[in-house]
Structure 1
Amino acid sequence: MEYPDPKRKSNMFGKLLMAAAVTALCIIMLKHSPSFSTPTHFSRHEKGVTHVLVTGGAGYIGSHAALRLLKESYRVTIVDNLSRGNIGAVKVLQDLFPEPGRLQFIYADLGDPDAVDKIFSENAFDAVIHFAAVAYVGESTTDPLKYYHNITSNTLMVLKSMAAHGVGTLIYSSTCATYGEPEKMPITEETPQVPINPYGKAKKMAEDMILDFSKNSDMAIMILRYFNVIGSDPEGRLGEAPRPELREQGRISGACFDAARGIIPGIKVKGTDYKTHDGTCIRDYIDVTDLVDAHVKALQHAKPQNVGIYNVGTGKGRSVKEFVEACKKATGVDIKVEYLPRRPGDYAEVFSDPTKIRRELNWTARFTDLQESLGIAWRWQKAHHNGYSSS
């Protein structure tokens, strides 16, 4: 009589167990691979539909741009780490465009190379509008490394992933801060770029990197250098809601509204001894609706193997004192003003010459009444006392 060998039985069981484990591991790996995943509207190209990645799309400008793109039937993916943006803005957009394949939100940091590569691997983008960036001049002078990392390094991550995954169009959101303090006004696209603060320097580095890359690439590239942004969605769906801890660094419009609402006792105007007609800085204030329109026109006119660089402004400068007076009229509040020494890294006068963008992209600023733009933004502020959390 033969008896079964217990060692042989044990070896057979071990082999079966190992085979089952390997099979299970393969299934898990396949399920996590883009090719095995159930295809979605966002993971495939679709004829007649342009899928745009909007980085920083939960922010002030990015959310307004996403709204405009969605209204014009683009497919939109927003990527944002919410360090400066608002999830409330994304929820507004999701409520407005709930249909499948219209809008998706991905929470991610563009400084994480694995996360960025995963986003590009799992989505079929046709174009990228790159807004994501920290953007306060004063903060950039006190924490410059944050700006070089967040702006220059993160743009490199986006550009590398675009190249690796064959995304053919980039609209880069740059700034007039790359020009520094030019000797002649108005600023044209040929004005020498001599930035005087880390924010402007980091943006110029990103521009230089994009331009160097473009020399051996078929990518369609548009660089928009825009000026001081104000206003909000005329229909009252979106607005500007900076985090409370960033109010001190924020835009003058935000400070005016906070003062008008009594959140702060008044506004602080930094610098009254500039060589301007009233001693305060002069800036070119561009309404966010016009700015978004410029981005859409840039996207529509982008051509392979071509780089377009454009100033986006009104062509007219307004002083800080003039701005404050317009804000007083728009809000109906006699805002208290405190005058202080200059802010580090600021410059006296900056306004654009928009001739090139008007000629080549058929774009011109339409919302140029300062008081009217501030009035529209003020209505949103009054209806959203705690930002998007009160909407």
Structure 2
Amino acid sequence: MQSIGRTRTQSRPSRSVNLGGMDYPDPKRKGNFVGKVALAAIMTTVCILVLKKSSFNYATPFSMREEGVTHVLVTGGAGYIGSHATLRLLKDGYRVTIVDNLSRGNIGAVKILQELFPEPGRLQFIYADLGDAKAVNKIFAENAFDAVMHFAAVAYVGESTMYPLNTCATYGEPEKMPITEETTQVPINPYGKAKKMAEDMILDFSKTSDMAVMILRYFNVIGSDPEGRLGESPPPELREHGRISGACFDAARGIMPGLKVKGTDYKTHDGTCIRDYIDVTDLVDAHVKALEKAVPGKVGIYNVGTGKGRSVKEFVEACKKATGVDIKVDYLPRRPGDYAEVFSDPSKIRNELNWTARYTDLQQSLKVAWRWQKAHRDGYGTPSVMAS
């Protein structure tokens, strides 16, 4: 850097200063007003360019790799499952970037996570739509990710029959129970068909890539963070398409006049659908174990469930006991796209990833979730005092 305040002991002749291939008279020449203005303009331009470059290329912990720190991109991280997964990752020392367009997620969940982990370089939130290729490319260009956990999806069965481009269960209605990873995938609704298409694309891509891939097929998710920090809060307009646990809680809180059970003539012991209910805490534990065991160039496919099926009627009774409310139940015709009986054989994930569901008491999982619902009557709005 040159000293600007330096004085000279003798005069010097006029000379030209070459800047970028253009000649300008020496600005120190007395009376050369045009030269002074030109140089000032050039210096201003240079300063602006330097400021722009420094602001756009400013290095952050999220843009650099750090030894011993794994940076995970969590898509849909503001949603029910994604927020719980983010909480677990942060607790375990991971660096996390959430990308969510908030069409299903809650910015309130993100704020809670930021309050729990305020240290620089732990968590960042990016508002973006994964369908926007330009935005996605920019995100990957500006961040150094080591892994991705993908939860961004439109994942309600009822909604899928009206809007087919969403995702989830792929097995359809198998002839034999329980379901293993080798069970033929024949989805009978748009909900499962889109998920299978996504799996097929991933498998095709993996054939020419050394990327480590883990595909987890999970069942009906229930529960919430045992410490009461996070819960499930779907958009009000999707309540009728959501999970049965949400419907039970809405009925118990009086938001809905009662619970609608769709289908009582299935070939099951009590005529209602049978499902495998997995607690969200167990589910995110499976994701972390999958991340830890992922091997470059290989694909792992695992069912994540308890291995035990419970009927809708059994679920409703457990919900009544968990909430302490005698919920009114209306029995209606079947919902299009529902299967009669679906539950998993989790032996593969137990043997290969050392994972087993621990939170298998249906009533207890519902009780934990109900405690959050009571304390957050407006979802992620202003919480009330936690009740036992």
TM-score range, shorter chain: 0.7 to 0.9
In 2: Cα distance, 1:19 partner to 1:75 partner = 42
Counterparts in 2 of 1:1-391, with a 5 A limit?
Answer: 23=46, 26-27=49-50, 30-31=53-54, 33=56, 37-145=57-165, 147=166, 175=168, 177-391=169-383
Structure 2 match to 1:3: none
Letter of the structure 1 residue corresponding to residue 328 of structure 2: K
| Equivalent AA in structure 2 for residue 390 of structure 1 | T
Q: Map Cα deviations across residues 194-217 of structure 1 (whole Å, 9 max, x no partner).
A: 111112111111100000000111
For structure 2, list consecutive stretches of 5 or more residues without a partner in the other structure.
Answer: 1-31, 384-388
In 1, Cα distance between the equivalents of 2:61 and 2:136? 19
Equivalent position amino acid for 1:39 in 2: A
1:63 is paired with a residue of what secondary structure? helix
Q: Which amino acid aligns with 1:235?
A: E
Which residue pairs with 2:13 in the alignment? none
| Deviates further, 21-30 or 277-286 | 21-30
TM-score scaled to structure 2, two decimals? 0.87
SS at match of 1:322: helix
SS at 2:215 equivalent? strand
Deviations 1:268-305 (A, max 9, x none): 00011111111100000000000000000000000101
Query: Number of matched residues?
Result: 353
- Cα deviation code 1:213-256 (max 9, x no counterpart): 00111100000000000000001110001111110111000010
Residue 14 of structure 1 and its aligned partner are, at CA, apart by: 11
The one-letter amino acid paired with 2:380 is: Y
Give the secondary structure class of the aligned counterpart of 1:144.
coil
Q: Which residue of structure 1 aligns with residue 27 of structure 2?
A: none
* Mapped partners of 2:358, 2:99: distance in 1: 29
Q: Secondary structure at the match of 2:140?
A: helix
Q: Which runs of 4+ in 1 moved over 4 A?
A: 11-29
Counterparts of 1:140 and 1:42 in 2: how far apart (Å)?
Answer: 36
SS in 2 for 1:133: coil
Q: Which residue of 2 aligns with 1:165?
A: none
Query: Counterparts of 1:25 and 1:202 in 2: how far apart (Å)?
Result: 48
Q: Offset of 1:364 from its aligned partner?
A: 0.4
For residue 13 of structure 1, report the CA deviation from its aligned partner: 11
Residue 143 of structure 1: CA displacement?
1.2
Read off the aligned partner of 2:191 and give its amino acid letter.
Y
Q: Secondary structure at the match of 1:268?
A: strand
Residue 390 of structure 1 and its aligned partner are, at CA, apart by 2.1
| 1:168 alignment counterpart | none
Following superposition, the deviation at residue 144 of structure 1 comes to 1.3
What is the distance in 2 between the residues matched to 1:20 and 1:225?
A: 59
Change (3 A) 1:251 1:24: same
| Greater C-alpha Rg | 2
Partner in structure 1 of residue 10 of structure 2: none
- Measured in 1, the distance between the counterparts of 2:214 and 2:43 equals 53
22 and 198 in structure 1: CA distance in 2 versus 1, 3 angstrom threshold: farther
Aligned to 1:172: none
Distance 1:14 1:349 in 2: 81
Normalized per residue, the structure richer in helix is 1
> Relative to 1, partners in 2 of residues 1:49 and 1:181: Cα closer, same or farther, differing over 3 Å?
same
54 and 339 in structure 1: CA distance in 2 versus 1, 3 angstrom threshold = same
The structure-2 alpha-carbon separation of the partners of 1:45 and 1:338, relative to structure 1 and needing over 3 Å to count, comes to same
